[in-house]
Structure 1
Amino acid sequence: MHKRARRLVTVLAWCAASTALAAGASEPTLYVKARNTRLMASASPTAEVLTILQPGQKVIWKGADSKNKQWHHVVVDGKEGLVFQSNLAKQPPSMELVAKDGTRTSDNRGLISSGAAIRGLADGATQYGREKGKQVPSFSDSVDQIKELEKLARTITPEELAAHVDKAHLFPVVGPQADASPGDKR
């Protein structure tokens, strides 16, 4: 199933690019849709990080990598590199949030500070896991484990998380990020 979905995304990307080219656009513009998307020097998750991209940033699409179609060549701010396909979209991402009561906001500071942005399982996913767990016990166990991790995550403050990330020399994905890679002093 995953191979079919990847092929569909690749075909849709090619169709979008073809449509843009047919409409007269010399180089199709795509948008970054995931926070802290890495522009990589090569088609490898361990390659050098050239820069960090944020949702809504425009990139010029140069095509899929010939050896690994999941990676796409793009140019942004004069830098050319590769981005994983699932981080790109034809349309700019919606930057607004919808609350349970239906109200909308583009200010996500409250969501980020609440920890809701990292919630692991929505109610529908939990229900699915429980139902599937009746047939495959590991599903139910996994739901329970994720729920316990969610409880633990709510007890960790942003300051504690930032301290751990710094101490463990991890890539900081919480809060504003200006550096391209950990320890990079450019």
Structure 2
Amino acid sequence: MTKRRMMGVLLLALGLPVTGAGAVQKDGKLYVKARNTRVLKSPLPTADVVAVLQPGQQVTWKGADPKNKQWHQVTEPGGKPGYVFQTNLSTKPPNMELVAKDGGTRAIDPAAFVSSGAAVKALSPGAEKYGNEKGGTSAQAVKQIKALEDLANKVTPEQIAEHVRQAGLFPVVAPNTTLGPQKVTTGKSSKSTKGTK
């Protein structure tokens, strides 16, 4: 068993979270790995947003919140302190995406790739063409995947936040990624919450 795996087992046995942040010292650097990662004023999903970060951006890790280890205190690139949900952080930068074009490849910045919309497409144009040319169940699968992709594009952050609330899930998703107070949907009306402790 490797040292890293043994450390993970030990942390689990002690009831501590096993995150990328566990492998970095206080004031060390971590990378954002999720699109539109919100840096919040406090470790609450409805807290005011102080910054919105993209994959590959670095934050300075200040430690896990003592009351809720799923939230980690960071300082964003502009110097503002805040909290980020643990699964949005990584000890390694996102891999550069390689794109084949005219028989060659080139590296793309992760943030640019995500903002292009290509990262959220279920099928590349080449995979879609292959499935359609193959026909039969492959063509049917392409059609179904495209229908699911179209449906997914119609789901709003507000709808996700409301579903999370109704289902009693841990509310990581907020209705929007704008800076400042979050507007939390409660049925048909919406209200602004300050998200302070």
TM-score (norm 1): 0.52
Structure 2 counterpart of 1:180: 179
Structure 1 stretch 6-15 or stretch 58-67: which is displaced more? 6-15
1:105 aligns with 2:110: no
Residues in 1 aligned to 2:79 and 2:52: alpha-carbon distance in whole angstroms: 14
Q: Residue 86 of structure 1 aligns to a residue in which SS?
A: helix
Structure 2 counterpart of 1:84: 85
Structure 1 counterpart of 2:52: 52
Residues in 2 aligned to 1:42 and 1:86: alpha-carbon distance in whole angstroms: 17
1:124-180 CA distance string (max 9 Å, x none)? xxxxxxxxxxxxxxxxxxxx97653324568x8xxxx9xxxxxxxx636xxxxxx52
* Superposed displacement of residue 57, structure 1: 1.7
TM-score (norm 2): 0.50
Identical pairs, percent: 51
- Specify the code of the residue in structure 2 equivalent to 1:118: V
Q: Residue 103 of structure 1 aligns to a residue in which SS?
A: strand
Structure 2 counterpart of 1:38: 38
Q: Residue 11 of structure 1 aligns to a residue in which SS?
A: coil
* Structure 1 or 2: more strand by fraction: 2
Residues in 1 aligned to 2:67 and 2:35: alpha-carbon distance in whole angstroms: 26
Choose from 146, 154, 171 the match for 2:176: 171
* Superposed displacement of residue 117, structure 1: 2.7
Q: Where in structure 2 are the equivalents of 1:1-186 lying within 5 Å?
A: 10-13=17-20, 15-17=22-24, 20=25, 27-76=27-76, 77-99=78-100, 103-106=105-108, 116-120=118-122, 148-151=147-150, 171=176, 180=179
* Superposed displacement of residue 83, structure 1: 0.2
Q: Is the 8 A contact 1:171 1:182 kept in 2?
A: no
Q: Is the 8 A contact 2:21 2:91 kept in 1?
A: no
1:101-135 CA distance string (max 9 Å, x none)? 7834316868865x543235899xxxxxxxxxxxx
* Structure 1 or 2: more helix by fraction: 1
Q: Aligned pairs, how many? A: 133
Residues in 1 aligned to 2:114 and 2:27: alpha-carbon distance in whole angstroms: 36
Residues in 1 aligned to 2:59 and 2:65: alpha-carbon distance in whole angstroms: 16
Relative contact order, higher structure (CA 8 A, sep 6+): 2
Residues in 2 aligned to 1:60 and 1:148: alpha-carbon distance in whole angstroms: 40
Residues in 1 aligned to 2:81 and 2:87: alpha-carbon distance in whole angstroms: 18
- Specify the code of the residue in structure 1 equivalent to 2:18: V
Structure 2 counterpart of 1:131: none
Structure 1: unaligned runs, 5 residues or longer: 21-25, 124-143, 162-169, 173-178
Superposed structure 1 runs of 4+ greater than 6 Å apart: 107-111
Q: Is the 8 A contact 2:39 2:53 kept in 1?
A: yes
* Superposed displacement of residue 30, structure 1: 0.9
Residues in 2 aligned to 1:37 and 1:59: alpha-carbon distance in whole angstroms: 11
Q: Is the 8 A contact 2:21 2:61 kept in 1?
A: no
- Specify the code of the residue in structure 2 equivalent to 1:149: L
Structure 1 counterpart of 2:4: none
CA RMSD of aligned residues (A): 4.3
